[in-house]
Chains A and B, each alone.
Chain A
Amino acid sequence: MFVNVTLSLLEGFLGTLKLFLLTLVFSLPLGLIISFGSMHKRMIVRLPIRFIIWVVRGTPLMLQLLIIFYGPGIFLGMNVWGSGDGGRFTAALVAFVINYACYFSEIFRGGIQSIPKGQYEAAAVLGLSKSQTFFKIVLLQVVKKIVPPISNEVITLVKDTSLARVIAFYEIIWEGERFIKSAGIIWPLFYTGAFYLVFSGLLTLLFGYIEKKLDYFK
């Protein structure tokens, strides 16, 4: 029984993992772009971006999932997500990417703005171009600064994926709950915690390693 439960939970965890990884792949670069927008010289760019960040950070992710999944059907009268599990997955991914990109963008903004002006001035008097300054001077210093807050968000994301079950996205908690109905046992649901714990443990080790790697400068 234990082996059977473990195997099916693992299968559910694959759904969790897929959502987790794809969310990171899309939301990190999108977050960087949004952070540039939120720091833009022109108000006309900056203000709408800040407004979106405010809305996304100011409302529950679960609500965002519901609105993104059901909204188009209710308000526009069309089903943009297609049918079946693929559609649910896409909708969940879109909601997660938007939500996490906004959080990441604020972390990036904090990191970029914390770089002292003197670094830009030194690069400028040495004749470095804007892109050389960003990639050769600023970027690594920003990365070093944002590793701890990013690691926080990433570990939160592992657990937030469970929210996707409100739109019936198939993941590990869903799988665990199934055993209540099918076999009348509740421990598989509790057992899912171990999967989260092991995975976030691995992530903690990974981020600790990155932090250590960047420890050679201050």
Chain B
Amino acid sequence: MAILEVNEIRKKFDKEEILKGISFSMEMGQTLSIIGSSGSGKTTLLRCLNFLERPDEGSITVNGDVLFFANYSKLDDKELRQKRHHFGMVFQQFNLFPQYTALENVILAPKLAATSKEEIEEITENGKELLRKMGLEDRMSNYPHQLSGGQQQRVAIARALALKPDILCFDEPTSALDPELTGEVLKVIKELAMQKTTMIIVTHEIGFARDVSDEIIFMDGGVIAEQGTPEQVIDNPTNERTKQFLANYLK
């Protein structure tokens, strides 16, 4: 069964329709990359999945549980927070909390939900383990401003993983990084892909998307123009727009 099913998502800002009916599904353990030019709606789609935007139409189902159905009355705050736990989100600008250390950033949210001392200890241990996996064991007590962009983004990935989301979303995770720092972040994401973490990655790194993805979606003008395996979409595109986009990209 598909872990995620997105059905006919539409979203308008003012009068302009940014998402014009997006449907796709993905399997557990898969990595899905969404590529496309700026303004094609890929970031908006990701933000809809994370409830940072509210779709006007359509539905989102995770593990058979309907998270969002546009005709529902407005979700209350508590319900919304429950549903959010299915998704983790890594932002382009990292958005770490500056007054907390790397470790505190990672464990803040699970700690707030914890009920016992033992649980907090477990959360702290788990947070340290995650940072170790990110190659940051000597950076745990550093504050964000003491870390490089690549290190900050790896902390942000650990922070998203700490809540054990079903699906981890990345919104252009390397776009705000110096070119020499993108490698360390991509490497971490690649490792996650090999460990069968279910991920959706909005990215401009076409080469990386080809390497790491099981499935690729090419978005154009608010619709899915082409979808398939990396071999299909990137190496043998059939849609004219995809060909154009990739040609510009590789130039």
Interface residues of B in 17-46 (CB under 8 A from A): none
Whether a CB of chain B sits under 8 angstroms from the CB of A125 is yes
Whether a CB of chain B sits under 8 angstroms from the CB of A121 is yes
Known contacts A125-B50, A217-B143, A217-B145; A130 and B77 CB within 8 A of each other: yes
Q: Chain A 183-218, CB within 8 Å of chain B: the 1/0 string?
A: 000000000000000000000000000000000111
Partner of B81, one of A121, A129, A136, A218: A129
Q: Which 9 A-B residue pairings sit nearest by Cβ, starting from the closest? A: A122-B95, A126-B109, A118-B95, A218-B145, A125-B89, A127-B81, A217-B99, A217-B98, A140-B99
Closest Cβ of chain B: how far from A127's Cβ, in Å? 5
Q: Could you list which residues of chain A lie within 8 angstroms of chain B, going by C-beta atoms? A: 116, 118-119, 121-130, 132, 136-137, 140-141, 144, 216-218
Q: Chain B 99-113, CB within 8 Å of chain A: the 1/0 string?
A: 110000000110011
Bound Cα distance from A79 to B19, whole angstroms = 65
Closest Cβ of chain B: how far from A54's Cβ, in Å? 30
Q: Could you list which residues of chain B lie within 8 angstroms of chain A, going by C-beta atoms? A: 50-52, 77-78, 81-82, 84-85, 87-89, 91, 93, 95-100, 108-109, 112-113, 143-145, 159-160, 163
Partner of A119, one of B50, B95, B143: B95
Closest Cβ of chain B: how far from A204's Cβ, in Å? 24
Say whether B108 contacts A126, CB under 8 Å: yes
Q: Which residues of A contact B143 (CB under 8 A)?
A: 216-218
Q: Which residues of A contact B77 (CB under 8 A)?
A: 129-130
Q: Which residues of B contact A130 (CB under 8 A)?
A: 77
Bound Cα distance from A121 to B112, whole angstroms = 17
